[in-house]
Amino acid sequence: MSARAQRRVIIAQDAQALAETAAARLLARIEQTPHPAMICLTGGTTPKKLYQLLATSPWRERIPWPRVHWFFGDDRFVPQDDELSNSGMARRTFLDACAPPQNVHAIRTDVETPDEAARLYELELHAFHPMPLDSAPLFDLVLLGVGSDGHVASLFPNTEAAAETRRWAVGIEHAGLAPFVPRVSLTLPVLCAAREVLFLVSGKSKREIVARVFGGDDLPATRAHATQGETVWLLDRAAAPPDLKET
């Protein structure tokens, strides 16, 4: 079955409804997971509303925090207290207040290079999943955003990083889109090794790239789909091209 055929589309009324729907899916995924749940978070601005919800009632009380592990699909290679840091944003918005510190697995940015950070993150993931990716999903849920150029995590179109099949994480010296800081990113095989890949897409500025993805253009976002699970595109009405229907 093609990646396209496997995609489910959910259209929420607005950005707030999108965050509520995402929170409900995240909680359902955790509840369906008998073992410690492995959640991979996304950066950028879109997930912030979701992260704020998770730290507030009723979501905060519903999430079994001690048995959820939080990872990151990518990060900007900046200190965690930098406003560009994805893990810094997630920490400040909900993780520091809610999650046991040992359950938060940020990409290190206090090492020499993005490549070194990628190597260490790969080792950390291997410790949780000491087996090939195709033998069982690594993550229970992977959250992703999409850039206006079709990138996911920090895998930009037409780059070696986006074509990587062997390594689990890579350093990226030159980002294809602002902010132009070095990045560290999980690779597509890892992001796809999930029981669910959930895209969060909000705002009119995303409509064009969504149309390109659903039109089949070869972009990282087109190729990002759960190889052993469900791929869901959760969009708000503003981000949805007029001919895109819920499925």
**Sign of the torsion formed by the C-alpha atoms of 175, 210, 196 and 48:** positive
The alpha-helical segments, DSSP class H, found in 63-219 are 86-90, 96-98, 114-128, 160-163, 188-191, 207-214
Among 26, 30, 39, 74, binds ligand 6PG (CB under 6 A): 74
Among 54, 153, 161, 235, binds ligand 6PG (CB under 6 A): 153
Strand order in the sheet with 169-172: 74-76, 183-186, 169-172
Angle at 171 (CA atoms; ends 169, 175), nearest 5 degrees? 120
Which residue number, 68 or 186, has a Cβ lying nearer to ligand 6PG? Answer: 186
Per-residue interface string for the shown chain with ligand 6PG, residues 185-224, x marking contact by CB under 6 A: ----------------------------------------
Separation between Cα atoms, residue 214 and residue 212, nearest integer Å? 6
Per-residue interface string for the shown chain with ligand 6PG, residues 11-50, x marking contact by CB under 6 A: -------------------------------xxxxx----
107 binds ligand 6PG (CB under 6 A): no
Q: Which range of residues in 110-118, 122-130, 142-150, 235-243 is near ligand 6PG by CB under 6 A? A: 142-150
- Closest distance to ligand 6PG from the beta carbon of 231 (Å): 16
Q: Which range of residues in 61-69, 110-118, 146-154, 220-228 is near ligand 6PG by CB under 6 A? A: 146-154
Which residue number, 30 or 191, has a Cβ lying nearer to ligand 6PG? Answer: 191
- Closest distance to ligand 6PG from the beta carbon of 135 (Å): 27
Among 29, 151, 195, 212, binds ligand 6PG (CB under 6 A): 151
Residue 137 dihedral angles phi and psi, to the nearest 5°? -60, 140
Give the residue from 13, 8, 43 showing the smallest Cα distance to 239.
Answer: 13
The alpha-helical segments, DSSP class H, found in the chain are 3-6, 15-32, 48-54, 59-62, 86-90, 96-98, 114-128, 160-163, 188-191, 207-214, 220-223
Which residues would be at the binding site for ligand 6PG (CB under 6 A)? Answer: 42-46, 74, 76, 86, 145-147, 151-154
